Amino acid sequence: MAHIKLENVVKRYGEVVAVKDFNLEIHDKEFVVFLGPSGCGKTTTLRLIAGLETPEEGDIFIDGDRVNDLSPADRDIAFVFQFYALYPHLNVYDNIAFPLKAVKVEKSEIDTQVKRVAEILQISEMLNRKPSVLSGGEMQRVALGRAMVRQPKVYLLDEPMANLDAKIRVDTRAEIKRLQYEIGATTIFVTHDQVEAMSLADRIAVIHLGVLQQIGTPHEIYNRPQSLFVAGFMGMPTMNLLEAELTSQDGAPVLRLSHTDVHLRIPPERHARITSDSQENGLVFGVRPEHITAANQPNERHIPAQVHLIEPLGAVNILDIRLGTHSQTQDPILLRVRVHPTFQAAVGDTIWLGFDDKEMHLFDQKTEQTVW
Ligand code: ATP
């Protein structure tokens, strides 16, 4: 249906640069999620694509045509906002039919389209009701129906589920994914919820301070973060990020986690990728809590450490392990490890930790870019 391209797009509000030199290509039929913390520029980027904002610099293309000067109405885009603005005096049928009536589509065709969309969204029984008697989830589906009935080139969805309670949110999420798959429309979905992003997206665009940090499949974003920000933003609990220094032990290169006695052996090919600039800038070691193994028995390749805190989460337990004490602040240096709830450990126990070098990450502290 549509291919979207943003080239060097900049948007400023006075002193604030909301979108910085943004380059992005979204393929036909793709489902892309804009993910980032509040104020990072997600909505502004969406509004630029919709034509509700004008960029100060750069170009926006839809299907190869530069659309910078096209009005929103001429871009053939349907926009669903966080706050679904339904017409309170119209029933569900007329709310959904509204965009078709506005462009004078024939009555019988409107009827076919409204009923088709209502069936997909499972709101056929509610067509005669007014919005005031609908639940939040139902109203949201009507708002989606109004966008879908038009069959536009592009759907832009700005936190469309923010007002729904947790259960309806999960149901609606599945619905949106199925619908997008069936309709095959290019879709951009804005959220600050990483679970929503992971579950919906073909590709996730992670945005921070108006800068596109990384775009990739959920798997790439989670497993191969290209910056400290992406590494620290994704995951629950998030990746362990600890300062480290490159040194050697018995003639072999090792990473020493700062303020601890933990020395991690690193393979030569990874050692070769650590530049002297990065060593000077400072190194940050990263490992996800699920990529550390914990054992109750000593093993010569594992590292002994003390359990500081246990957080039972039901399906898993998170252990906070104390690796050392910060020499200046005296704060504990902690590592979070995910274990099965049957793993036996009490606060104060010593356990043994194993690290898989294929699951280790390293970042340059100054550039915040990934070393490996
Ligand atoms: P949220 O998740 O909270 O909606 P967001 O990632 O969508 O945040 P934007 O709404 O795009 O972020 O805002 C990006 C930056 O631009 C913020 O610093 C915001 O305060 C600023 N901004 C957005 N719209 C305007 C405006 N109309 N006037 C001035 N500043 C604005």
- Which domains are assigned to the chain? 4-233 (3.40.50.300), 240-364 (2.40.50.140)
- pLDDT value of residue 136: 78
Q: What is the pTM of this model?
A: 0.89
Joined tokens for residue 320: 């906070």
How far apart are the C-alpha atoms of 60 and 357, rounded to whole Å?
42
Q: What is the pLDDT averaged over residues 60-64? A: 95
**36 ligand 1 Cβ < 6 A:** yes
Is residue 194 over pLDDT 70? yes
Q: What is the pLDDT averaged over residues 62-79? A: 91
Q: What is the pLDDT averaged over residues 180-203? A: 91
Is residue 285 over pLDDT 70? yes
- pLDDT value of residue 180: 83
* 59 band by pLDDT with thresholds 50, 70 and 90: very high
- Name the range with the highest mean pLDDT among 80-89, 112-121, 208-217: 208-217
- pLDDT value of residue 82: 66
Q: Tell me how far the alpha carbon of residue 39 lies from the centroid of ligand 1, in angstroms.
A: 5
Chain mean pLDDT for the chain: 92
H helices of the chain, in order, are 42-50, 92-102, 107-120, 136-148, 166-183, 194-200, 218-223, 228-233, 268-271, 276-281
Q: What percent of the chain has pLDDT over 70?
A: 98
Nearest CA to ligand 1 atom 24: 44
SS3 13: strand
- pLDDT value of residue 295: 95
- pLDDT value of residue 115: 94
Is residue 1 over pLDDT 70? no
Q: Tell me how far the alpha carbon of residue 29 lies from the centroid of ligand 1, in angstroms.
A: 27
Nearest CA to ligand 1 atom 18: 39
Is residue 83 over pLDDT 70? no
Q: Are strands 154-158 and 186-191 parallel, antiparallel or unpaired?
A: parallel
How far apart are the C-alpha atoms of 362 and 274, rounded to whole Å?
9
**82 ligand 1 Cβ < 6 A:** no
**206 ligand 1 Cβ < 6 A:** no
Is residue 99 over pLDDT 80? yes
DSSP 125: G
Ligand 1 atom showing the smallest separation from residue 47 Cα: 11
Nearest CA to ligand 1 atom 10: 43
Ligand 1 atom showing the smallest separation from residue 41 Cα: 11
* 368 band by pLDDT with thresholds 50, 70 and 90: very high
- pLDDT value of residue 206: 98
CB atoms within 10 A of CB 328: 7
Nearest CA to ligand 1 atom 29: 13
Q: What percent of the chain has pLDDT over 90?
A: 75
How far apart are the C-alpha atoms of 170 and 163, rounded to whole Å?
12
Nearest CA to ligand 1 atom 14: 41
Instruction: Give the residues across from 252 on adjacent strands.
Output: 249
How far apart are the C-alpha atoms of 62 and 55, rounded to whole Å?
15
Is residue 38 over pLDDT 70? yes
CB atoms within 10 A of CB 70: 14
- pLDDT value of residue 300: 79
pLDDT digits (tens, 9 = 90+) for 287-330: 999 999 999 999 878 999 999 999 999 999 999 999 999 988 99
Fill in the amino acid letter for 29. K
- Bigger pLDDT: 59 vs 170: 59
**115 ligand 1 Cβ < 6 A:** no
Q: What is the pLDDT averaged over residues 361-369? A: 97
